[in-house]
Amino acid sequence: MRKDDCIFCKIIEGKIPSAKVYEDDDVLAFLDISQTTEGHTLVVPKEHYDNFLTTPKEIMHKVMDVAQRIGQAEIMVLGAKGINILSNVNKEAGQSVFHFHVHVIPRYDRKGGFTLEMKENPKAKDLSLPALASEIKKGL
């Protein structure tokens, strides 16, 4: 099922043009219009799912397989030195288009166009990691 107000659904339907990198029956990959770094690609399922957490496993596996292949190609053909694979879930995590998608962001150096920084959590020393792990396990 596609959503009428979803920009990615419109791209999939051909209502909005895109620079396609890959397409099969279930997955479409196209260059991100922002080109955070040269070759920044979005990989999306053709069916609409809001995010990573709501996507069926078999579809997610297909999307991730394509993301891996694109990352390999970007290293081999574009000369990228590394790749960031990223999917944001919900607005608080930076999701701006609510159609599951994976960013494949080629990295040519550490400074170019994209920054991801994991900062030290000052409260980490006060956390009980076994208790936190136990809480997470309850939801599995």
Task: Give the list of residues 6+ apart from residue 74 with CB closer than 8 angstroms, or none.
Answer: 39, 41, 80, 83, 104, 106
Q: Which amino acid is at 26?
A: D
- Catalytic annotation on 48? no
Active-site residue, selected from the candidate residues 48, 99, 101, 103? 101
Structure tokens at 58: 């078999």
Structure tokens at 20: 């396609």
What's the first-to-final CA gap in the chain, in angstroms? 28
Residue positions annotated with a catalytic role: 101
